[in-house]
A = this chain, B = another copy of it.
């Protein structure tokens, strides 16, 4: 497997950073990007104590980010799929504040932030796109805030399933059948629930005929009913 897929040849370019850069300038972006060796399941991309040097775009696999409280318990703060950018929470502090860990074998593009800032000075559309990315992150957090604050356990699980489905579709994959890259524990942790609760909800969704799940393989059988659990999502697909 070549580790030197340029942005030009990367199938993710329509959904990744290159979408903000004119073809003529794509080389400039391409030149600052480092493509590292694949991460194995469980390996860290960065840790909370590391200096903040770069942001990362997922090329394959999946990454989870999490923070540790002082008591040492973990809070999963996000799941990142191919084409998505992570690591932006470190900009203001010069060191990362969260940890990033591969949920499965994953490859990432490393984008040194200082150079990205320089390039953003020259390419306004890149600057704007990066503002947009961060703005999207904030917006997603607002929705998560509502999810955690107002929605019951069923709605939370349904919402995550539909979010993953939509993000698969964005990459041209099936929005109906896909594989969850994360464990039930990670799902529970992310959604502020107990694992047992998540497990029971998966069972109930299947009993209702809304979902088929075998381990991490899921098939969405009745999107409407899953949305119905959270009508706010009715139109999202």
Contacts and interface: CB of A to CB of B under 8 A. Distances in A.
A142 B89 contact: yes
B145 A148 contact: yes
Given A137-B138, A231-B70, A234-B70, A91 B146 contact: no
A51 to B, nearest CB: 15
A149 B191 contact: yes
Interface stretch (A11-19, A23-31, A102-110, A121-129): A121-129
Contacts of A91: 128, 131-132, 134-135
A180 B93 CA distance: 28
A149 to B, nearest CB: 3
Nearest to A69: B232
A163 interface: no
A142 B67 contact: yes
Q: Which 3 A-B pairs have the closest CB atoms?
A: A149-B192, A91-B135, A141-B141
